Amino acid sequence: MKIIYTDNNATTKTADEVIEEMMPYFGELYGNPSSMHTFGDRVGKKITQARKHVADLINADPEEIVFTSCGTESDNAAVHAAISAFPQKKHLITSTVEHPAIKNLFAHLAKEKGYKVTFVPVDRQGRLNTNVLYDSMSDDTALISLMWANNETGVIFPIEQVAKRANEQKILFHTDAVQATGKIEIDVKKTGVDMLSLSGHKIHAPKGIGVLYVKKGLKFSPLLIGGHQEGGRRGGTENTAFIIGLGKACQLAKENLGVMNTRVKELRDYLESQLLEKISGTSVNGELDNRLPNTLSIGFDAVEGESILLLLDRDGICASSGSACTSGSLDPSHVLMAMEVPFKSAHGTIRFSLSHYNTQDEMDAIVRNLVPTIEKLRAMSPFWKDGKMV
């Protein structure tokens, strides 16, 4: 069965060009980039080039790029650096809709290390309540960490605006740009963020490689203490093949940014309008005109997400649900809960996240599956009768 992959916010297909770029570095070009000999330096030069590609994608300088193992490590390293730089400051700020890498880390710091954490709320459209954020900023704040864009809804936070306020008050600002990278323009110089996390496998590089951008001049304490690699900011021999793959992926992401915001966005909008038109009792989650171009979070009244996913799966369609049902919890996701999406559609929320590999035919196949799928599930739902909620 042909797979229709619309779960690109979970992970992406590793691009063929990326795999091709990586292959020699698993085999004949096994040198250590730190070695003095020409053989090792061949790899070193390639890593320098990869670092430049990454820097170009986010308008950073190459020496501001630190390679890590994943987005979660980048987030942990950023938070570690911030609280080490200001050990006397005991207040942290983030939002209620962060990825677990930040959400659970901040909860851990609150519980185990005595930090006071402000979780800034969002409104019904997933927009950040900047008033609460600004009011909570104080001399005791060690770090503000906000995701650039939300993984579930695609809603984009006002990073430039918040970073500016943070800079004015000399508070460190970190952004988790794992979902935003490669989908919208990221410019660290223009926005003035201090640190930024990104992840390779969300932009068609393989899993197991991430980046932390660290602004020049920032006082930085490494999470992994070891050798001099990454300018002393992350010990451990470089993951050469993966770094080189990520470099290629960043180069491609920059080239594809236009396609992402035209053709991919059109496909997303087409899928969205088709589903809204053909299935009643359907609503889109998140601020409509301020979302990632590839993301659609859509709720179907009176049905449950896991059931929908299973029926999509029968046709090889890959998507995600807005519930944590698979983990045993019956609650909708913390993002939908924070947005106060009504239960009637929160439980039946599905996230489709596209890439430039998707086609119009695939969107049509999703619509062809979903219309009877929702009908079938509503036919057995005690909350749906005669075409509406009861």
Partner 1 sequence: MWDYTDKVKEHFLHPRNVGEMKDANAIGETGSLNCGDALKLYLKVNENERIIEASFMTFGCASAVASSSALTEIIKGMTLDEAAKLTNDDISDYLGGLPKAKMHCSVMGQSALKKAIANFRGVQILEKPGQIVCECFDVTDLEIIDAVRANGLETTDDVTDYLKAGGGCGQCLDRIEQVIASAKVKG
Cβ proximity to partner 1: between 219 and 388 the closer is 388
> Smallest gap, in angstroms, from Cβ of residue 74 to partner 1?
27
Q: How many CB atoms lie within 10 A of CB 70?
A: 19
Is residue 177 within 8 Å of 202, Cβ to Cβ?
no
328 binds partner 1 (CB under 8 A): yes
CB proximity list for 74: less than 8 A, separation 6 or greater: 66, 68, 176, 197, 198, 199, 210, 211, 212
Cβ proximity to partner 1: between 68 and 345 the closer is 345
332 binds partner 1 (CB under 8 A): yes
Q: Which of 70, 250, 318, 325 is catalytic?
A: 325
Instruction: State the Cα–Cα distance between residues 351 and 349, nearest whole angstrom.
Output: 7
> Smallest gap, in angstroms, from Cβ of residue 19 to partner 1?
25
DSSP state letter for 314: T
Task: Specify the stretch interacting with partner 1 by CB under 8 A; choose among 40-48, 53-61, 80-88, 330-338.
Answer: 330-338
Start-to-end CA distance of the chain, whole Å, equals 38
351 binds partner 1 (CB under 8 A): no
Select from 280, 329, 359, 360 the one that contacts partner 1 (CB under 8 A). 329
Chain positions 264 to 303 lying near partner 1, rule: CB under 8 A, are: 302-303
Task: Specify the stretch interacting with partner 1 by CB under 8 A; choose among 73-81, 239-247, 353-361, 375-383.
Answer: 375-383
Is residue 96 within 8 Å of 338, Cβ to Cβ?
yes
Task: Specify the stretch interacting with partner 1 by CB under 8 A; choose among 90-98, 113-121, 162-170, 328-336.
Answer: 328-336
323 binds partner 1 (CB under 8 A): yes
Classify 320 as helix, strand or coil. strand
One symbol per residue from 299 to 318: x for binding partner 1 (CB under 8 A), - otherwise; what is it?
---xxxxxx--x---x----
Task: Specify the stretch interacting with partner 1 by CB under 8 A; choose among 68-76, 172-180, 288-296, 379-387.
Answer: 379-387
Cβ proximity to partner 1: between 134 and 383 the closer is 383
Cβ proximity to partner 1: between 16 and 386 the closer is 386
Backbone angles phi, psi at 209, to 5 degrees: -145, 135
Task: Specify the stretch interacting with partner 1 by CB under 8 A; choose among 56-64, 121-129, 356-364, 378-386.
Answer: 378-386
Instruction: State the Cα–Cα distance between residues 58 and 182, nearest whole angstrom.
Output: 9
How far is Cα of residue 24 from the mean position of the Cα atoms in its chain? 29
Cβ proximity to partner 1: between 180 and 308 the closer is 308
Instruction: State the Cα–Cα distance between residues 186 and 55, nearest whole angstrom.
Output: 11
387 binds partner 1 (CB under 8 A): no
How many residues bind partner 1 (CB under 8 A)? The answer is 25
**Burial of residue 94, with CB atoms counted within 10 A of its CB: 0-12 exposed, 13-18 middle, 19 or more buried:** buried
Which run of H or E residues covers position 68? Answer: strand 65-68
How far is Cα of residue 339 from the mean position of the Cα atoms in its chain? 18
Select from 142, 252, 325, 335 the one that contacts partner 1 (CB under 8 A). 325
Cβ proximity to partner 1: between 257 and 389 the closer is 389
Copy the structure tokens of residue 50: 């990869």
Instruction: State the Cα–Cα distance between residues 370 and 48, nearest whole angstrom.
Output: 47
Catalytic annotation present for 325: yes
Sign of the torsion angle spanned by Cα atoms 56, 59, 61, 64: negative
Size of the chain in residues: 390
Least Cα distance to 93 among 162, 153, 180, 195 occurs for 162
Select from 170, 380, 386, 387 the one that contacts partner 1 (CB under 8 A). 380
Select from 347, 353, 366, 374 the one that contacts partner 1 (CB under 8 A). 347
> Smallest gap, in angstroms, from Cβ of residue 282 to partner 1?
16
| Residues labelled catalytic | 325
Q: Which residues bind to partner 1, rule: CB under 8 A?
A: 302-307, 310, 314, 323, 325-332, 343-344, 347, 379-383
